[in-house]
């Protein structure tokens, strides 16, 4: 059994993570209004091609990201599949979310060695002071969300940030 599996089994809970109702959109859009204008004409094609199954179609027919099972690999499939170009490779950027670690819930902040969040971080945005006290470097974090579902104590949360007009590409 891997360390991650051990911690997950010890701290698993039937409670679902509280979902932030401010939708985190896939990282390929230019403005929020386009979802409400164009996505209502679509059958959610972006969600069917997502290999990580993190794109969910809301009742208003707009897509949002749910990091409860996995994270975004920035594979471009959703943008390529979008028939109305709401999602487009031209607008590829970081996910419009900021992630943070709750020090009270985090094992490492409470003197238990755990690197569950660091292991899946492709951008190495999770930094530890020695072997404890992890922080997320927001200048490096792409918002992929792989750290969220892997945390055995659900110590990592995220919230929507408004996308800036001239945001730099990945």
Task: Encode pLDDT of 1-10 as tens digits.
Answer: 555 555 555 5
Instruction: List the single range of 1-5, 11-15, 38-42, 103-107 with lowest mean pLDDT.
Output: 11-15
Q: Is residue 131 part of a domain?
A: yes
**Does residue 167 lie within any of the structural domains?**
no
pLDDT the model gives residue 124: 95
Average pLDDT of the segment spanning 117-144: 94
Paired residues of 136 in beta bridges: 126
Residue 166 lies in a domain: no
Q: In sequence order, which residues have a C-beta less than 8 Å from that of residue 165 and are 6 or more positions away?
A: none
Judge whether 34 lies within some domain. yes
Q: Could you tell me the CA-to-CA distances from 164 to 91, 94, 130, 170 in Å, in that order? A: 12, 11, 34, 14
CATH number at residue 53: 3.30.70.20
Q: Which domain holds residue 121?
A: 3-11+22-160
Handedness of CA 8, 99, 84, 169 (dihedral sign): negative
Whether residue 100 is contained in a domain is answered as yes
169 has pLDDT over 50: no
In a domain, 65, yes or no: yes
| Residue 103 domain-assigned (yes or no) | yes
For the chain, give the mean pLDDT. 86
pLDDT value, residue 48: 96
> With 70 as the cut, is the pLDDT of residue 122 above it?
yes
pLDDT bucket at 20, cuts 50 / 70 / 90:
very low
Which of the four pLDDT bands, split at 50, 70 and 90, describes residue 163? low
Contact (Cβ atoms closer than 8 angstroms) between residue 134 and residue 85: no
State pTM to two decimals: 0.78
| Mean of pLDDT values over 101-125 | 95
In a domain, 154, yes or no: yes
Q: How many structural domains is the chain composed of? A: 1
């Amino acid at each position: 059994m891997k360390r991650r599996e051990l911690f997950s089994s010890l701290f698993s809970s039937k409670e679902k993570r509280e979902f932030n109702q401010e939708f985190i959109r896939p990282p390929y859009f230019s403005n929020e209004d386009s979802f409400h204008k164009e996505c209502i004409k679509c059958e959610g094609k972006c969600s069917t091609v997502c290999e990580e199954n993190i794109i969910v179609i809301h009742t208003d027919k707009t897509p949002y990201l749910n990091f409860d099972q996995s994270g975004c690999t920035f594979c471009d499939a959703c943008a390529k599949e979008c028939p109305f170009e709401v999602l487009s490779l031209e607008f590829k950027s970081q996910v419009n979310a900021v992630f943070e670690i709750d020090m009270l819930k985090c094992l490492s902040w409470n003197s238990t060695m755990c690197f569950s969040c660091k292991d899946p971080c492709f951008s190495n945005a999770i930094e530890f002071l020695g072997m404890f006290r992890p922080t997320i470097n927001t200048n490096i974090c792409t918002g992929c969300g792989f750290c969220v579902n892997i945390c055995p104590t659900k110590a990592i949360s995220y919230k929507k940030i408004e996308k800036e007009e001239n945001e730099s590409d990945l």
